Amino acid sequence: MKIAIMGSGGDAPGMNPAIKRFVEFCFEVGDEPYFIYGGLEGLIDGKIQKASYEDVAGIIHRGGAIIGSSRSKRWYEKRYRDQAYENLQKNGIEAIVVLGGDGSFRALDIFKKEHDVNFIGIPTTIDNDIYGTSLCLGVDTALNTIRDAIDRIRDTASTFSRAFVIETMGRECGYLAAVSAITCGAEVCVIPEVEFNIDVATQILRKELERGRTYLIAIVAEGTKRTAEIAKWCEETLGMETRVTVLGHIQRGGNPTVQDRLLGFGYVVEAIEALHRGEERRVVVYNDGVFSTLPIDDVVQKNYRIPEEILSLLNFID
């Protein structure tokens, strides 16, 4: 079978380990691996190349993706999807493994319904907002990057007796903020999934400040759009000198952790095996240490929820 791999949407650490294992495993089972460079835009423009061992040598430790990624407005015009199909036909490619999120899966699903090209999705997003899987590719590395940043910021917060408001990525999902707040001992966490009880937080923190608390760490998920508000609250209501740090795209880069390398390997192997089983329109998921697949409709039509055991550990929530 001729199988291509591509990235789509935002990048995440662990993509290169997945790409490396994709090439290796294809050769192990007798498939022909291909790269689609530049995501959906590259597929439209025919940037397709047969892959070799040499292409993936020495990439396992690198962040990002050697094959690139993209978002594409052109994809939603049928003539460009037809052009993409012609490019696949020229190379004899029968299936695509796509590293991306729910938007990427929807894009390939439109394609599959129009053309005879199967695909399997691998949840690849630091947001960890894909239904049906406990951990997306890239999340562990992002969490470790955030942890390192918070630990460093705590040093200066404690030295200068300041409040620091730290904004994490995650779109509309507060997973990164919640887990980071718990594991880094933040005093405040504001996420979209739970209403932040600012009155209770004010009462508790004022008492702690009276008893000698000298600094404060607040983690705010970008999807709440409340970073400036929380900073103002720390400054004006709690009376603390306050600084804001937006971590931004450093959360997407960096050397993939051992966890993300292993996830990349496992996700790709399950994807290729699913194609050999004849599965269509599926997404690989990871739960309780086991890889399996779910129908694309289940994944894109249902919303991911942060586990209650995580939410229960947060401070100042109803």
Q: What is the pLDDT of residues 162-217, one digit of tens each?
A: 999 999 999 999 999 999 999 999 999 999 999 999 999 999 999 999 999 999 99
pLDDT at residue 315 in the model: 61
Q: What is the pLDDT of residues 66-123, one digit of tens each?
A: 999 998 999 999 999 999 999 999 999 999 999 999 999 999 999 999 999 999 999 9
DSSP 42: H
Q: What is the pLDDT of residues 194-208, one digit of tens each?
A: 999 999 999 999 999
Domains located in the chain, CATH noted: 2-138+256-302 (3.40.50.450), 140-252 (3.40.50.460)
- Is the pLDDT at 316 greater than 90, yes or no? no
Nearest to 28 by CA among 265, 289, 281, 261: 265
* Displacement of CA 233 from its chain's centroid (Å): 30
116: three-class secondary structure by DSSP: coil
Nearest to 213 by CA among 163, 166, 263: 163
165: three-class secondary structure by DSSP: strand
Please compute the mean of the pLDDT values over residues 53-58 and round it to a whole number: 97
Is the CB of residue 52 less than 8 Å from the CB of residue 32?
no
- Is the pLDDT at 317 greater than 70, yes or no? no
218: three-class secondary structure by DSSP: strand
Per-residue confidence at 318, pLDDT binned at 50, 70, 90?
very low
Radius of gyration of the chain (CA): 22
Nearest to 87 by CA among 66, 52, 56, 117: 117
Per-residue confidence at 297, pLDDT binned at 50, 70, 90?
very high
Alpha helices in the chain, H assignment, sequence order: 15-29, 39-45, 53-56, 78-91, 102-114, 139-160, 175-184, 198-210, 227-232, 258-276, 296-301, 308-311
Pairing of strands 95-100, 2-7: parallel
- Which residues are identified as catalytic? 127
